[in-house]
Structure 1
Amino acid sequence: MTASQRREQLLTVSRGLFAQKGFEGTSVEEIAARAEVSKPVVYEHFGGKEGIYAVVVDREVQALTHALTGALGSGGHPKVLLERTALALLDYIESSEDGFRILVRDSPVAQATGTFSSLIGDVATQVEAILEPQFRQNGLDTKAAPLYAQMLVGMIALTGQYWLDARSPKKTEVAAHLVNLAWNGLHNIEKKPTLTRTTR
């Protein structure tokens, strides 16, 4: 096996273990045993568990970023963009269940970028750019666009986490419900929302 093939094998084995057991529950010993290599081979390629985890997370972030930005960057009516984005996330979850499980766990490798939360923040920034002209066109306060972008993206991401385990209803039905709530909620948005009762 070449060094490149060995590296990919270690990444595949580690990805499965991290998805199943999490970062803390996975050891270098277990990675080595599953890959049928000695521990020094793992250290030689990645420097340790943190190194291999960082590569696995980075690959998943790149894959999901590509899917979501592709959906958002394809142009079209805002409702269609919302549909595409919801489906892009659900497609990723369906095709990369282990990857999504890894991404939604708290990352022990503390970093400001390359995490699920930073990815969601980046997507929310793109959504904000789509919402702002819509807000302006409808006489709404554009300063609220970032807040609504975070809410929309968060709603889709959390629904994705739920669907990861539930897998019911079908993906297209989940996306339709997401879009129904988000679109109809945004479509009838109040210019100056207030609570029904004053809370203390």
Structure 2
Amino acid sequence: MSTDAGVRRRRSRAERRHQLLEAARDAFVESGYHATAMDDIAERAGVSKPVLYQHFPSKLDLYLGLLDQQAATLVELIEQALQSTQDNQQRIAATVEAYFDFVDTPDGAYRLVFESDLVAEAAVKRRVEAVTDACAGAVAEVIQEDTGLDADHAFLLGVCLAGMAQACAARWVALQRPVPRSRAAELVRCLGWSGLESFPLARTPE
């Protein structure tokens, strides 16, 4: 029998960080930033506070790490949706679905981006604004390419579409999914497409 039998494998730094972020995510979503203590997070993660502080020097650092993680996930979902097809009606549908994918998870982590109780903190505000602009900007690039509108006009349209999808998806969850998800997403798609189709296509359809 190996002398290592029964010995628990030591977690790598990346694994430990992931474990701590998961524990913090659950705590922040459940109680909010201000009501969550580092003691609570350490207990959830099953580690000592010194171990927690080795990875994250403060509660704010931990929160920002989570916010960066969720922001990257959302931006990736939006970019994948926009690149999934050249048909603009389908692009809108895919983009709307990306927002519903982001919010429709058991952990409720989307609230860190869409409903943060720490937006008065400058570092949090910058990150929330950055992810909002990144998603709207990704949509705007496609709009500008396809309609020939200038960057400022295209960006405002991107803000409109992204904001509508975000608000509807988040509210749909908050209202405890009052209609089937497919129907909720279809309503947003129809509204978005009815507006954007009024702008003539400037490129040759593929």
TM surpasses 0.5: yes
* 1:150 matched to 2:150: no
* 1:110 matched to 2:127: no
**How far apart in 2 are the matches of 1:127 and 1:148?**
8
The 8 Å contact of residues 71 and 85 in structure 1, kept in 2 or not, is answered as yes
Output the amino acid matched with 2:111: R
The match for 2:141 among 89, 109, 129 is 129
The match for 2:171 among 152, 162, 166 is 162
Q: CA deviation at 1:81?
A: 0.6
SS in 1 for 2:34: coil
SS in 2 for 1:111: helix
**How far apart in 2 are the matches of 1:6 and 1:168?**
38
Output the amino acid matched with 2:45: A
Q: CA deviation at 1:173?
A: 0.9
Within a 5 Å distance, the mapping from 1:8-157 to structure 2 comes to 8-95=18-105, 97-104=107-114, 105=116, 106-107=118-119, 110-111=122-123, 115-136=127-148, 144-157=153-166
TM-score, length basis structure 2: 0.79
The 8 Å contact of residues 54 and 109 in structure 1, kept in 2 or not, is answered as no
Q: What percent identity do the matched residue pairs reach?
A: 26
Output the amino acid matched with 1:37: V
**How far apart in 2 are the matches of 1:132 and 1:36?**
50
The 8 Å contact of residues 7 and 45 in structure 1, kept in 2 or not, is answered as yes
**How far apart in 1 are the matches of 2:46 and 2:124?**
34
**How far apart in 2 are the matches of 1:123 and 1:15?**
22
The 8 Å contact of residues 32 and 38 in structure 1, kept in 2 or not, is answered as yes
**How far apart in 1 are the matches of 2:16 and 2:151?**
52
The answer for unaligned runs of 5 or more in structure 2 is 1-9, 200-206
The answer for unaligned runs of 5 or more in structure 1 is 190-200
Q: CA deviation at 1:109?
A: 5.2
* Compared CA separation, residues 15 and 142, structure 1 to 2 (3 A): closer
**How far apart in 2 are the matches of 1:56 and 1:135?**
37
Q: CA deviation at 1:56?
A: 1.3
Q: CA deviation at 1:178?
A: 0.2
The runs of at least 4 consecutive aligned structure 1 residues that moved more than 6 Å come to none
The 8 Å contact of residues 21 and 62 in structure 2, kept in 1 or not, is answered as yes
**How far apart in 1 are the matches of 2:180 and 2:168?**
13
* 1:180 matched to 2:190: yes
**How far apart in 2 are the matches of 1:141 and 1:69?**
21
Output the amino acid matched with 2:180: K
The 8 Å contact of residues 57 and 114 in structure 1, kept in 2 or not, is answered as no
SS in 2 for 1:98: coil
**How far apart in 2 are the matches of 1:151 and 1:178?**
11
The 8 Å contact of residues 58 and 114 in structure 1, kept in 2 or not, is answered as no
SS in 2 for 1:147: helix
The structure carrying a bigger helix percent of its residues is 1
TM-score, length basis structure 1: 0.81
